[in-house]
Chain A
Amino acid sequence: MTVNTVHWFRKGLRLHDNPALRDSIRGSDTLRCIYILDPWFAGSSNVSAALLFVIRGQPTDVFPRLFKEWQITRLSYEYDSEPFGKERDAAIQKLASEAAVEVVVRISHTLYDLDRIIELNGGQPPLTYKRFQALINRMDAVELPAERITLETMQSCVTPVSENHDDKFGVPSLEELGFETEGLPTAVWPGGETEALQRLERHLERKAWVANYERPRMNANSLLATPTGLSPYLRFGCLSCRLFYFKLTDLYKKVKKNSSPPLSLYGQLLWREFFYTTATNNPCFDKMEGNPVCVQIPWDRNPEALAKWAEGRTGFAWIDAIMTQLRQEGWIHHLARHAVACFLTRGDLWISWEEGVKVFEELLLDADWSVNAGSWMWLSCSSFFQQFFHCYCPVGFGRRTDPNGDYIRRYLPVLRGFPAKYIYDPWNAPEEVQKAAKCIIGVHYPKPMVHHAEASRINIERMKQIYQQLSCYRGLGKDGPSWAEAAADEGRQSLCSADDEPDGTSHSQDSIWFGFFSPSSVLTLGLRSWTDAGQMSSSSSNRNHPTCRGSLTLQSNTLMLEASPQSDGGGGGQGRHATT
């Protein structure tokens, strides 16, 4: 019986480490590799021409047709862990089984089988990075990357190509996809597997040079796209994460002559893995509402302010330069991402991180669903128990990174004439300086859209309010949101997960503290009154409670000084727990 195989490329756009493709070639008579341009997702693709059939349409329409037309008996693809991907693939698997098509799926987009990690954590994804690292330590070793597919691998398998292949199945040009191509500068990030592998080699050379394996100190040059950057290639799968992992390991062993590399060596890969793990079972991961791991924060709706941020018109040169680089090149350094994400959300504009996700999705080459949403939640302190006191100043942070301001001048040529002293806060420059720079603030370049000190003062208060309410749920057992309890437990457990047992004191609250510090001292920051839960028994829910639905919201914590006994000046936390 002839085995006609279709390999479906989605991500995993590579021939190295592609176990699904490798395994499905075995015993196949014909092989066709397809890429489906789903009109809904035509946004970004990174596709090269050889041996490829590009088909337009939705997978659920395309496949039944192809199964029949090409008499397909086998379908293979790389496993996609994202909720939408799993749903789509489940539908395709159903169609395949109806058409008696064998389905070959392999994991190669992540280092590990994510379901195993979750299983190891008792069926829940880890909610802190520390916990995740502890789990990773207990997992079996990462599987070796599959060998590269060559003509030899193909053996007697052929790809039937018709005369009019290019017309029917050729890779569409950018114009055909509806993109504007006039005036586009040359790509800073050329696509494809070949480029990815070359970059990997360069990246490793550079790393060997920085023999300490610390992150190199941040300087002005770090902000610019480098020929060793790998994140977009990891996203599309032009570079296998496992290949990268093993190459890093080999290099470390060579340079350090040490057997076990620290987890920090794989930082970039593990963060990616972490977010994939937390997202895989959560279809609401990119939203605030209905997302069990996301704190419900009363963000402001403000489309005007959002547009200014997205288009680099905030009046803060550092923020605007970063957003300009993003728009022009599709990549910004991760610290630059922190700066603009903080500015949009908890730092200055108090706009929802969901809006940030959408903008990054549009503009950022390496933004995939899980990592993008997860990072935004992290940076906006909406999840993963981040401390929210550190705020990136839109003036100071940039100035400390690049004191001369070259980065600003590169991406905001209108500010070229400003001296380093004023380039980060051009509105403070005296009139003569502005005139000399041929750039009057308010005319040629916008005035700052917020007063940063005032905005950060207000926002820190808002975050505290939220987290104080959350901290009420700690120790309340069933009354609290399940995820908060789970994570608090996680915190306690992760303290004991290492080899050294802690002293056994009750510092277990330390790994996850809401507010600046532990609840009792949050209370001592003069806000105790609003967390006393003498009322908790009657006001047991607020928006951050998973069972609270609908527009009727309940009263939350209000003071009942009479009910909570005043102990000494510092304490007073006892009243928080449900009475009666």
Chain B
Amino acid sequence: MKRGLQDNEPEDGGGPSGECERTLKRLCDPMSQGDLEGISWENLPQEILLHIFQYLPLLDRAFASQVCRRWNLTFHMPELWRCFEFELNQPASSYLKATHPDLIKQIIKKHSNHLQYVSFKVDSSRESAEAACDILSQLVNCSLKTLGLISTARPSFMEMPRSHFISALTVVFINSKSLSSLRIDDTPVDDPSLKVLVANNSDTLKLLKMSSCPHVSPAGILCVADQCHGLRELALNYHLLSDELLIALSSEKHVHLEHLRIDVVSENPGQQFHTIKRSSWDAMVLHSPKFNLVMYFFLYEEEFSPFFQDEIPVTHLYFGRSVSKDVLGRVGLTCPRLVELVVCANGLRPLDEELIRIAQRCTQLSAIGLGECEVSCSAFVEFVKMCGDRLKQLSIMEEVLVPDSRYELDDIHWEVSKHLGRVWFPDMMPTW
């Protein structure tokens, strides 16, 4: 007996999913190929269609939606509109194409209440930032879980009128009430808008990334820490970090923090930075023993004096500018939890002792990257001998290694490979 598939025919398994499974089985079974009379493209259950559509890039999906009414209906199913990334570029400032304005209109009209995970990528033009905010302001029916405002070049959100930005952002904060993940780096967000965020989303907020938001004060971020007890990831600039903040994040009501990223950026040479008490860091480690502390330093050499004087639980350390031998020496002494270290540049005095000390004292170190530095080949081999078994990543520019009496450049990669247990080469740059 042939069974034709009809949408509403109740079967043993009941409902659409039973139907789905059976159709799939029949489609996949080579024996039943001849038996597929009742199945045709128009009758393909919507679940299957949806599943297939999820694999298609948006453009292809859009073309598919023009095929017939059923496919068009499927194209507009809410499941396909949960995530969207708006790309806003102007031809004058970007090489890349933007999300089509008609598509944007359609989304706002038909799907704004389906959107849950949304990001905006804007180029360096003010118009793009403003367009992003215009869209944001219209998302009144949205209850977003994720919002990301991402500048792909210069931070254009900083160049638009602040009030426009704040009011657009506030629309989302107030209407969503279930924001879990928020990424607003390089934006003019301020303390009052953070208060609005907290007032509406304190139960759900888990991730907040707001590096380089100059209009926020330590009090503003403290408010977030005090109220959002589910916060697991936080990224901010050093000027917002305070002992109170760390204590708040370590309070009993707070979940374990997983990631804390801190950018330490110098606006002008000779800037003074405050210090954080050892006891505050200790409280953090006690409360969240596994948390990752990620620190990016963009300082002039002379501005490092407040740092690395006392033990600090940093795990991932990145020096974006030249950092002195002395500071690297202190890193070896004060960073027992260090897992990753990247040194962009150092100078022309070899870092031999400093590296050895780091190998000795930073027993968790598993990744290191050295840019414009100097290390003698012997010291480097020594370093790799000491921590080769735990080093997953070792990235050294070829120019960094200084041949000495024991090793020449051509030998060194074999020595290092031996101790690492895998073939290794330094990073190279083309020589023309």
A positions within 8 Å CB-CB of B: 129-130, 212, 214-215, 218, 231, 262, 264, 267-268, 271-272, 274-275, 288-289, 296, 298-302, 334, 337-338, 350, 352, 366, 371, 374-375, 378-379, 386-387, 389-393, 396-397, 400, 428, 453-454, 456-458, 460-462, 465, 494-498, 500, 502-503, 505, 507, 510-511, 513, 516-518, 521, 524-526, 528-530, 535, 537-543, 545, 547-556, 558-561, 566, 568-570, 580
Contacts and interface: CB of A to CB of B under 8 A. Distances in A.
B392 A507 contact: yes
Nearest to B256: A569
B180 A559 contact: yes
B283 interface: no
B298 A271 contact: no
B259 A524 contact: yes
Given A271-B431, A500-B417, A500-B423, A526 B121 contact: no
B340 to A, nearest CB: 6
Contact of A551 (B97, B180, B207): B97
A457 B298 contact: yes
Contacts of B24: none
Given A540-B57, A559-B180, A494 B62 contact: no
29 contacts: A262-B410, A268-B431, A271-B430, A298-B153, A371-B432, A378-B430, A396-B345, A397-B345, A400-B348, A454-B298, A457-B265, A458-B154, A458-B155, A458-B186, A462-B152, A498-B423, A500-B417, A511-B423, A516-B369, A524-B339, A525-B259, A528-B233, A528-B259, A529-B183, A537-B55, A539-B83, A555-B85, A555-B117, A556-B85
Nearest to A553: B87
B395 interface: yes
Interface in B16-72: 51, 54-55, 57-59, 62
B14 interface: no
Contacts of B206: 561
Contacts of A548: 57, 59
Contacts of B256: 569
Contacts of B59: 548-550, 552, 554
B348 A465 contact: no
Contacts of B54: 537-538, 540
A137 B247 CA distance: 59
B200 to A, nearest CB: 18
Contact of A334 (B100, B288, B290, B430): B430
A411 to B, nearest CB: 20
Interface of B: 51, 54-55, 57-59, 62, 79-80, 82-85, 87, 89, 91-100, 103, 117-119, 121, 123-124, 145-146, 148, 150-155, 180-181, 183, 185-186, 206-207, 209, 211-212, 233, 235, 256, 258-261, 263, 265-266, 269, 288, 290-292, 294, 296, 298-299, 315-316, 318, 320-322, 339-340, 342, 344-345, 347-348, 366-367, 369, 371-372, 392-395, 397, 399, 403, 408-410, 417-418, 420-423, 425, 427-432
Interface of A is mostly: loop
B432 A337 contact: yes
A228 B117 CA distance: 60
Select the residue from B367, B369, B429 with max chain A CB neighbours within 10 A: B429
Contacts of A299: 94-95, 153
B432 A559 contact: no
B91 to A, nearest CB: 8
B121 A298 contact: yes
A390 B431 contact: no
B58 A552 contact: yes
Given A268-B432, A392-B372, A510-B392, A524 B409 contact: no
B58 A559 contact: no
B428 to A, nearest CB: 6
Given A300-B94, A521-B340, A267 B423 contact: no
Given A212-B408, A559-B207, 19 more contacts: A264-B410, A268-B432, A271-B431, A296-B96, A298-B123, A300-B93, A375-B432, A379-B429, A387-B427, A389-B371, A390-B369, A393-B322, A397-B372, A526-B233, A538-B80, A549-B59, A556-B85, A558-B146, A559-B145
A353 B257 CA distance: 40
B181 A387 contact: no
A130 B425 CA distance: 8
Contact of B153 (A264, A296, A300): A300
A8 B263 CA distance: 60
A390 B397 contact: yes
Given A302-B93, A529-B207, A552-B62, A391 B320 contact: yes
Contact of B320 (A375, A386, A453, A553): A453
Closest 8 pairs between A and B when the two form their complex, measured CB to CB: A390-B371, A569-B290, A558-B117, A298-B152, A502-B422, A526-B261, A503-B421, A551-B97
Contacts of A502: 421-423
Contacts of A231: 432
A495 B258 CA distance: 34
Given A391-B371, A510-B393, A453 B298 contact: yes
Nearest to A503: B421
Contacts of B261: 525-526
Contacts of A301: 91-95
B124 to A, nearest CB: 5
B96 A267 contact: no
A387 B395 contact: yes
A538 B409 CA distance: 48
Contacts of B235: 526
Contact of A570 (B85, B96, B260, B292): B292
Residue among A268, A529, A537 with the highest chain B CB neighbour number at 10 A = A529
B320 A552 contact: no
A535 B85 CA distance: 12
Given A275-B430, A458-B154, A524-B316, A530 B55 contact: no
A541 B259 CA distance: 28
A533 B367 CA distance: 24
Nearest to A275: B430
A553 B321 contact: no
A570 B258 CA distance: 8
